[in-house]
């Protein structure tokens, strides 16, 4: 008897596909027309976004290659534990030369879509009106250029703002122009246009400057805007003490009052980003009249948007605001932590130092821009590093410097796991053989295996720890495979002595086969104040013929400690005392 084994589309779409990564979904659109239509539907997009909203966050970071006049964009994923993971290079854009300041791209992001426009360094949101605006999708790597027309005005200030309305399920780019017409002595005028994604042209919004509930010529359009609740918000620089609002559904301007105890003239920090930002989906204000002398910052958060209910909270810094180089709140990630922007650097409120991942990001960017190439040398790789890269390889803890007579070159010797990680995982290093031609991933994998039979197992262990944002170094001096640091080595000694084993085979390094090995290793770890971490790699039936096998491998972590009889007795005594006290 035949039965219909096809799953309902609701289960396929909202119980299965909604949990798939965006990168995989782009491939799944080609399975059939129904899947393609489902994945593109607004209801599915909302379900997918809600599922991943509390799983991780992505940061869009950028660097500028001055020599090539190119701007690079990278994506950094922050996992469920709040740790930055590896960096993905997204795209590069040419930057034109500026007369007085460098013209670099600024970005606005809504639900993963990014609006890019050329700006100057004085006002981040003021657009270079000689260049078009772009919309970029990091998941599909698709980039569209919005229609562009050169204005015929004597002087002009153009700003662009990106927003989304959940009521209409529409993304819109708002263009605000303040200008003086040619052959005219009149004061500055005001014009607003809007572009809806999915259309082909800009549309003018009729807005009489005299009918608006605020003076648009005094509104901080050139500073940061915030889109929440289907509306774009700006601070208003006047005695009105209001926030200017543009409703994306009705396409009309309005105003909402500032908190009663907030006066922009007193509390305003006057940072180039402005005093307004988004905090956990709410509109928030920053600033304090005594901030420059103290180590606290006041936040006003609009918890109830409809009823205009503001709640005041306080951030306490470990040092004075001035000593910390004036950090200001930037955004909140899915863990509830608040990111602070400090002199063009992103900081976490609870971070005490520059994270290892940020150093690795800088190294990755530098190697990509220089098209770096290493050379195979037996069971290691030699890399001729530039001055900037030499200063980053050390703090990022990749390789060892090699002394040489050539002062113009800095040579580093990379271990096989380190070199393959930079080549295969970070994709920022090419590796050549004796013929001086770069090897592809498969060729390099086969070479590494020929030099070290257990290389697949050891590399999986190394990359597993590196993707947790740990620093991993060789552990031969301690009689183990690796030593691992959860925090930067400049702050702490290595916490873990790592041994690697392979499930189904003998232990990959031939260790811990008998009890005497376990006892000796634990005694050694105790002597150097480290915890023994055993990583068991399961290949799950894969023959490790190519690096694609790494996706099928799983890692089991186990820490092994030595039982201390005296400590156990003390803990038992403490438990008895606590039990008697409770009775």
More confident site: 317 or 104 = 104
DSSP assignment string, 33-76 = HHHHHHHHSHHHHHHHHHHHHTT-EEEEEEEEETTTTEEEEEEE
Q: Which domains does the chain have, with CATH numbers?
A: 9-52 (no CATH), 56-339 (2.120.10), 453-583 (3.40.1350.10)
Using pLDDT thresholds of 50, 70 and 90, give the confidence band for residue 97. Answer: confident
Q: Across residues 253-274, what is the average pLDDT?
A: 76
Q: Which of 410, 485, 496, 539 is catalytic?
A: 485
> What is the structure's pLDDT at 349?
45
Using pLDDT thresholds of 50, 70 and 90, give the confidence band for residue 142. Answer: confident
Q: Across residues 504-511, what is the average pLDDT?
A: 58
Phi/psi region, residue 556 (left: phi>0; alpha: psi -120 to 50; beta: rest), is beta
Q: Which of 177, 267, 410, 530 is catalytic?
A: 530
Asked whether residue 62 carries a pLDDT value surpassing 90, the answer given is no
> What is the structure's pLDDT at 354?
47
pLDDT digits 0-9 by tens, 357-389: 777 878 888 898 888 999 999 999 999 988 778
Asked whether residue 478 carries a pLDDT value surpassing 80, the answer given is yes
Using pLDDT thresholds of 50, 70 and 90, give the confidence band for residue 81. Answer: low
485 is catalytic: yes
Minimum mean pLDDT range among 46-50, 123-127, 446-450, 532-536: 123-127
Q: What is the CA radius of gyration of the chain?
A: 28
pLDDT digits 0-9 by tens, 293-344: 567 788 899 999 988 999 888 877 766 666 666 777 887 777 777 888 764 4
The SS3 assignment for 137 reads strand
How many CB atoms neighbour CB 544 within 10 A?
19
Task: Please give the share of the chain, as a percent, with pLDDT higher than 70.
Answer: 75
Are 103 and 127 contacting, i.e. CB atoms less than 8 angstroms apart? no
Highest averaged pLDDT of the listed ranges 207-211, 280-284, 485-489, 524-528: 280-284
pTM, full prediction: 0.56
Q: Across residues 57-67, what is the average pLDDT?
A: 81
Residue that the structure tokens 């393609």 belong to = 36
530 is catalytic: yes
Could you tell me whether strands 531-538 and 496-502 are parallel, antiparallel, or unpaired per DSSP bridges?
parallel
493 is catalytic: yes
Cα torsion 281, 336, 463, 436: sign: positive
Are 295 and 319 contacting, i.e. CB atoms less than 8 angstroms apart? yes
More confident site: 232 or 21 = 232
Q: Which of 218, 442, 493, 519 is catalytic?
A: 493
């Amino acid at each position: 008897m035949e039965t219909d084994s096809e799953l309902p589309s609701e289960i396929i779409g909202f119980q299965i596909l909604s949990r798939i990564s965006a990168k995989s979904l782009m491939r799944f659109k080609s399975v059939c027309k129904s899947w393609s239509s489902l994945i593109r539907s607004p209801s599915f997009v909302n379900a997918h976004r809600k599922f991943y909203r509390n799983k991780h966050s992505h940061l869009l970071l950028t660097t500028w290659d001055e020599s090539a006049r190119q701007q690079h964009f990278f994506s950094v994923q922050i996992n469920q534990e709040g740790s930055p993971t590896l960096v993905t290079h997204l795209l590069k854009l040419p930057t034109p030369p500026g007369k007085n300041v460098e013209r670099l791209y600024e970005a606005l992001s809504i639900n993963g879509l990014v609006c890019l426009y050329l700006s100057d360094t004085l006002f981040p949101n003021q657009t270079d009106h000689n260049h078009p605006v772009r919309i970029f999708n990091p998941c599909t790597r698709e980039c569209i250029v919005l229609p562009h027309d050169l204005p015929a005005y004597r002087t002009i200030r153009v700003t662009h703002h990106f927003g989304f309305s959940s009521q209409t399920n529409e993304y819109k780019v708002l263009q605000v122009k303040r200008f003086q017409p040619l052959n005219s002595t009149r004061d500055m005028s005001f014009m607003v246009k809007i572009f809806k994604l999915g259309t082909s042209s800009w549309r003018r919004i009729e807005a009489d400057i005299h009918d608006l509930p605020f003076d648009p010529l005094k509104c901080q359009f050139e500073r940061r805007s915030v889109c929440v609740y289907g509306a774009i918000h700006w601070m208003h620089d006047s005695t009105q003490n209001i926030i200017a609002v543009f409703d994306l559904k009705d396409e009309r301007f309005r105003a909402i009052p500032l908190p009663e105890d907030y006066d922009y003239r007193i509390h305003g920090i006057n940072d180039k980003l402005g005093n307004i930002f988004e905090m956990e989906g709410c509109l928030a204000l920053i600033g304090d009249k005594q901030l420059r002398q103290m180590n606290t910052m006041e936040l006003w958060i609009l918890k109830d948007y409809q009823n205009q209910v503001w709640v005041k909270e306080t951030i306490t810094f470990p040092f004075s605001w001035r000593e910390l180089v004036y950090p200001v709140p930037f955004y909140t990630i899915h863990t509830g932590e608040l990111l602070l922007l400090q002199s063009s650097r992103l900081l976490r409120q609870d971070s005490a130092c520059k994270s290892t991942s940020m150093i690795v990001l800088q190294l990755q960017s530098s190697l990509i821009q220089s098209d770096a190439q290493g050379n195979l040398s037996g069971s290691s790789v030699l890399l001729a590093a530039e001055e900037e890269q030499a200063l980053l390889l050390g703090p990022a803890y990749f390789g060892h410097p090699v002394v040489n007579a050539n002062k113009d070159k800095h040579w580093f010797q990379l271990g096989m796991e380190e070199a393959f990680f930079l080549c295969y995982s970070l994709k920022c290093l090419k590796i050549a053989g004796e013929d001086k031609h770069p090897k592809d991933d498969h060729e390099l994998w086969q070479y590494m295996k020929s030099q070290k039979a257990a290389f697949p197992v050891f590399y999986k262990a190394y990359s597993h720890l590196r993707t947790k944002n740990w620093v991993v170094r060789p552990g031969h001096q301690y009689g183990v495979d690796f030593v691992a640091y959860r925090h930067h080595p400049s702050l702490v000694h290595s916490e873990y002595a790592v041994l690697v084993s392979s499930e189904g085979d003998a232990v990959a390094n031939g260790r811990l086969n008998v009890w005497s090995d376990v006892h000796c290793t634990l005694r050694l770890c105790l002597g150097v104040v480290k915890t023994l971490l055993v990583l068991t790699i399961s290949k799950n039936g894969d023959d490790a013929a190519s690096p694609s096998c790494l996706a099928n491998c799983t890692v089991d972590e186990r820490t092994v400690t030595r039982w201390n009889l005296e400590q156990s007795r003390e803990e038992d005594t403490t438990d008895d005392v606590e039990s008697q006290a409770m009775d």
